[in-house]
Structure 1
Amino acid sequence: MVDPITIRRAGFRAVFVFACFVVTFFKLLPLGTEPTRIPAPDLLYVVTAAVVLRRPAYAPAPLIVLVLLITDIMFLRPIGLWPAIALVGFEFIRRKAYGQTELQLPFELTLVPVVFGVMILANALVYAILGIPHPSAATTFLHVVFTAMVYPFAILLVEYVLRIRRPRPGDLEAEGDTL
């Protein structure tokens, strides 16, 4: 018989993957056929960051890399570059959340956009070194700003729709969960 904690963790991992693919599906829809100057926020990043900060065991590194590799293929990006950069960023976020059952909201609202900005800069730096065309600095800045503006809504989505909440004191021992 399978342990109930393992079943619960696998269920929430499936919910996380489903949410990532729903976000990817809507990003792939041809809603606007004309190019826009305003970049869309990175919804996949904010959902993943919110899950990693609440329950790191529900979004393990191999699962995040797998989802991002699939989106690299779907969006025709250089395969493996963004997942490698994102892995470093999410592991940094995971270490900041490690052992803290109550991360202060202002710190979280600052940490996530700053890490995203550093990830975008690292991506742009690799693109520049390899000579791959990339968006302008103003577009990149707007991308980071819009992603930061959407993050509070991602918190609400993860907390109230997906029901992935931070553990309360005593939950870690009761569930055997490790951060």
Structure 2
Amino acid sequence: MRLSTLPSGARLLRMALLASLGTLAIFVEAAPIGVGAQATPSPDLLFCVTAAIAVRRPASAPLLIVLTLGLMRDLLTDLPVGMGALALVLGIEALRMRSVAMARRSLLTEWSLVSVVFLGILAMQWLALFITFVQPPYLFDLGRQWVATMLAYVPVVATVRWVFGIGWRRVPAPGRVGFKGEA
């Protein structure tokens, strides 16, 4: 393996940060807080953390880490093993493909794209459970989880950006070759 193909130190730190924050999100999600019929659904913090990092720095959220975090969540929270991980990977890859186009957009545009992708993830999981004759969650509960996750996304993005310093990769304006006269 050539040294040029190895991740840089900053990228390795961002990858370790993703793994750490993802693990913390899984444990917060798995904590038995507010269990019961009338409990409000908890937001999908793992999706929020992974999406916030993958949209800003796609190379810092490699497929293997995202898949491992998804499988770990499936195993720790008694979800169907692999289905949540597959949905997470597909959603993050969809966001990763749009990350270059999102670099010059507002937070509202990013939030809209992330909310549509998460809605697609929920629909895919519901459909997979329905097809396999397992009782899928009620659509009202999925809607509440979607709202909770989208409300949690903005504070997660603010934390990732302002506390951990993972912002957009700087890109030159259209028609410019580089920054400040660089060629």
TM bin (shorter chain): 0.7 to 0.9
**Counterpart residue number, 2:108:** 106
**Counterpart residue number, 1:56:** 58
1:40 maps to 2:4: no
Q: 1:146 aligns with which of 145, 148, 159?
A: 148
Superposed, 1:1-179 pairs within 5 Å as 6-98=8-100, 101-169=103-171
How much does 1:63 deviate? 1.1
Aligned partner of residue 98 in structure 1, secondary structure: helix
Aligned partner of residue 31 in structure 1, secondary structure: coil
**How well do the aligned residues superpose, as a CA RMSD in angstroms?**
2.1
Aligned residue identity for 2:90 = V
Larger fraction in helix: 1
How much does 1:55 deviate? 0.5
1-side partners of 2:62 and 2:15: how far apart? 9
1-side partners of 2:50 and 2:84: how far apart? 14
Q: How many matched pairs?
A: 170
Aligned partner of residue 8 in structure 2, secondary structure: helix
Aligned partner of residue 165 in structure 2, secondary structure: coil
How much does 1:164 deviate? 1.0
- Which structure is richer in relative contact order (CA contacts within 8 A, separation 6 or more)? 1
Listed as ranges, the gaps of 5+ residues in structure 1 are: 174-179
2-side partners of 1:99 and 1:120: how far apart? 24
Aligned residue identity for 2:91 = G
Listed as ranges, the gaps of 5+ residues in structure 2 are: 173-177, 179-183
Aligned residue identity for 2:81 = I
1-side partners of 2:35 and 2:146: how far apart? 23
1-side partners of 2:38 and 2:19: how far apart? 29
Summarize deviations over 1:78-105 as a string: whole Å, max 9, x none. Answer: 1111111221211111111136532322
Structure 1 range deviating more: 2-11 or 62-71: 2-11
The question of whether the paired residues in 2 share the 8 Å contact of 1:37 and 1:139 is answered with: no
Summarize deviations over 1:126-171 as a string: whole Å, max 9, x none. Answer: 000111122211111111111111111111011012221111236x
Aligned residue identity for 2:135 = P
TM-score normalised to the size of structure 1?
0.86
Structure 1 range deviating more: 93-102 or 160-169: 93-102
1-side partners of 2:154 and 2:86: how far apart? 25
1-side partners of 2:64 and 2:70: how far apart? 10
